[in-house]
Structure 1
Amino acid sequence: MVYQADAKRYEKMTYRRSGRSGLKLPAISLGLWHNFGGIDKLENGRQMVRRAFDLGITHFDLANNYGPPAGSAEESFGKILKNDLKPYRDEIIISTKAGYYMWPGPYGEWGSKKNLVASLDQSLTRMGLDYVDIYYHHRPDPDTPLEETMSALDLIVRQGKALYVGLSNYSPEMTLAASRILKGLGTPCLIHQPQYSMLARNPEHGLLDVLEAEGIGSIAFSPLSKGILTDRYLNGIAADSRAAGPSVFMSPNDLTEAVLGKVTRLNELAAGRGQKLSQMALAWTLRGGKVTSALIGASKVSQIEDAVGTVGNLSFTDEELARIEQILAE
């Protein structure tokens, strides 16, 4: 059966302007870091992407090395795009990144112009695209001059291979320097992608202020802290959970007794708001409008549905925010 998107999809989502640009992003975006690789079932990924779009999620986030194996998430997304979403390409924001290790030799990672241009050419081939909407430098390079890396991003936009550029994992100081170089080149930075959640608050120490001052949007990855800020671990570590498996991204050491105690109390507060813990955690990340979008991962459709349900209650009382701070400080 030919896929037809839900005609009411845009009624189900809130959209926010990214910094001082003309681009709006959905409050909830879908990342393909996990569960879309060559080792995963393509049909499950297909159902998640289709359901996400039906719920108003227009932004799909990838990187050259997402998988495993590296590159396979882009290949999977390319198949889904070709078979289901091709008629809707102009309604979709697709992002990818380069900077982490992708291929052997001196040009397969970091931030040289050679790496960034070659990597995007590979990504476009894997996804079957002429251009991406957003191209990120995935991490700062300590050895390549920042001017070279930013001039590569500017070149890529001028070549028509990306509409916008972004940064990820940059410090406040490097973000400011990069932003000023890009503005001087005529290709302003659209967005920054930091890790940010109730349990990972480093962006509050300068980065969010730089982004606001420079007119740069933000999209938070791991807003659920690798699944800790969900009801997944309230009763301990399940045998089929990421923490119990071989994942390099999470281990039982992340789930200390102190952390689980905080999560339990946060869950009680969320219930009082009529939300799941995951929904309250996403709403908290989006509070106050400083973060443009929360970037979720998912392994099944119901998780996407829960996340989109967050947009119905994004506000907090002063008392709720104070209680959250008290719980996190304990």
Structure 2
Amino acid sequence: MTGGYLQVKEFLAPALAFGLAFALTPIIRRLAYRIGALDQPNSRKIHRQAMPLLGGIAIYLSFWAVAALSLFLLEGSSQLRGLFWGSSLILALGLYDDIKGLSYKAKLAGQFTAAFVLLAYNIKIEFITLPFQDITFLGIFVVPLTLLWIVGLTNAVNLVDGVDGLATGVSAIASIVMFALTWGEFPLIPVLALILAGAALGFLPHNFSPARIFLGDTGSLFLGFMLAGFSIMGVTKQATFTTLIVPVLIFGLPITDTFYAIWRRIRNGQPIFKADKGHIHHRLLDVGLTTRQTVLVLYFCSIYFGAAAIVFDRFAGFSSYFIPVIFALFLLGLKRLDSLSSFLSAANGTPYLDRTKERKKGM
């Protein structure tokens, strides 16, 4: 691949993906209404009227259409085919869940199947590098660690898809960070990351508050799956300590929210797969932020983690001492937010989300 070819794609491919996703989304929205793929409101959700799902179809079609046009010179790329088949399977899984509904066990089985597709096409985590150690090849742990990363990150992005535009914007930010980290090092991932960012940003105007369409599992699972694949094909292939830390930093917000949700549910004696209103975005709403303010705060958090990943990648030896501080400060903020949210809920007698519902009933 020539340098000029890469430069053209860097500018044109994401712009084309943006335009295509922006144009396709209203069509998908009408389709969702026609077939009844709607997200019905309930006590756990923020929206108060049925909202069309399937927004991920617009991102999927835009991404792969532009990727096919941009990467045709990469003849017979096995890993690209693996990404296509795996992401198509995960899209089908999300599509069925959005229309018919699936149990968490069936969704997990489908996600592991899609992850196995990537493994079959040699997309796997083969080694990590720990502090003050040489490269550690994973041996028999290659398969379980790869599966855990793919399925875990897929679900982490899905879990933050609870406020208008949040998962879409966070995924776009992560894609841009991925481009910054892999540009000049890998021929494939920088282009794919920018195309995915363009497709997500093209969908975002329709998805930002007040949203006219939701990603649905169709979109959130697809975005998480693609980002997991990109990180394995790109960032984890670097023979430095960054193979362990940088991917975690890139996805710091969804990963932290997921672990915090698991810990919270275990602490409360609830099944870890039981949905609740304790996610970071719920807590920000509880303390009085609007939906837009909540999303913008969490965009900033994603940029914070992404910037930390870039700094760490460039200055690994110096910045490694600050990684625990980065996560400690974020977790401390979560703890303070949790305490403030609980205090305000107790003082007002009901959580912010329920108070919002009551105000709207009285209007």
Which TM-score bucket, shorter chain as reference? under 0.3
TM-score normalised by L of structure 2: 0.23
Larger relative contact order, structure 1 or 2 (CA cutoff 8 Å, min sep 6): 2
Larger radius of gyration: 2
Higher helix share: 2
Higher strand share: 1
